[in-house]
């Protein structure tokens, strides 16, 4: 894209952010503005997608949140692939079934998404996170691939160097949820005498089986409403 096109696209993004509800966090307004600009039905922003520190910064609606929870619980899907390869992934759920059958099957049952666009948020050669969008019916975004990718990279610059992001999330936000997941993982390690990776896998499997967000399962473990025991514990 030419510099003039970049400038015009950023101006439209700024205008869309300004017109979003003021009571919402900056992160959500940026996500919602990007969704509107690209003509998607929903959007989400995630960082550290391939690690145990994976965080959803925002989701514009319930469907976007459910798709992110599936990525989180299963550790696979379009957004995970976009993060690992640094390349955009655009698939219908029917196409996704060929690569990620469990993810696609669950997404089909739990959402009305028809097509997913996962765009890596890049700074230079480093991938910082993923912008994931969905449409209920398959079709192109309102910007071409270069324009959509430029916006995704712009989000990385806007979010990851903005100290307000931390205050936006607040004490009850996603950072707090992730800390609770870490605490729950440690409790499962102690309860079952397993490694950290295995404990996290157990939490994710439990979340998937109950169709619950990982954070909700972690909260139950921390509150001792859900306790895992080895068979020889009786």
Angle between helices 214-222 and 196-210 (to 10 degrees): 110
174-233 is classed CATH 1.10.10.10 = yes
Per-residue pLDDT of the chain (234 residues; tens, 9 = 90+): 667 788 888 888 888 888 888 788 888 988 999 999 999 999 999 988 777 778 899 999 999 999 999 999 999 999 999 999 999 999 999 999 999 999 999 999 999 999 999 999 998 889 999 999 999 999 999 999 999 999 999 998 877 654 444 444 444 556 667 788 899 999 999 999 888 888 888 898 888 777 888 889 999 999 999 998 776 665
In three-state secondary structure terms, 142 is coil
Give ranges for CATH 3.30.450.40 in the chain. 3-168
**Residue 23 main-chain phi, psi, to 5 deg:** -75, -15
How far is residue 70's CA from residue 64's CA, in Å, rounded to a whole number?
10
The Cα 103–Cα 107 span in angstroms is 6
Q: Are 151 and 31 in contact (CB under 8 A)?
A: no
Query: Which residues make up the CATH 1.10.10.10 domain(s) of the chain?
Result: 174-233
Q: Are 153 and 123 in contact (CB under 8 A)?
A: yes
Question: What's the CATH fold of domain 3-168?
Answer: Beta-Lactamase (3.30.450)
């Amino acid at each position: 894209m030419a510099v003039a096109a970049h400038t015009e696209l950023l101006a439209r993004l700024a205008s869309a952010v300004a017109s979003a509800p003021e009571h919402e966090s900056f992160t959500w307004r940026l996500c919602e503005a990007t969704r509107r600009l690209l003509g998607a039905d929903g959007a989400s922003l995630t960082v550290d997608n391939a690690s145990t520190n994976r965080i959803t910064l925002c989701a514009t609606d319930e469907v976007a949140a459910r798709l992110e929870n599936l990525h989180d619980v299963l550790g696979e899907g379009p957004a995970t692939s976009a993060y690992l390869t640094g390349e955009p992934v655009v698939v219908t759920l029917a196409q996704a079934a060929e690569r990620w059958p469990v993810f696609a099957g669950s997404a089909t049952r739990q959402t009305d998404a028809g097509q997913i666009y996962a765009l890596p948020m890049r700074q230079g050669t480093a991938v910082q996170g993923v912008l994931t969008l969905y449409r209920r019916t398959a079709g192109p975004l309102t910007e071409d691939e270069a324009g959509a990718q430029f916006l995704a990279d712009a989000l990385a610059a806007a979010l990851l160097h903005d100290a307000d992001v931390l205050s936006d999330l607040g004490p009850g936000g996603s950072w707090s949820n992730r800390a609770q997941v870490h605490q729950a993982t440690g409790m499962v390690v102690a309860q079952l005498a397993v490694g950290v990776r295995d404990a996290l896998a157990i939490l994710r499997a439990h979340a998937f089986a109950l169709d619950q967000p990982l954070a909700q399962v972690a909260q139950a473990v921390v509150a001792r409403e859900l306790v895992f025991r080895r068979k020889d514990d009786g």
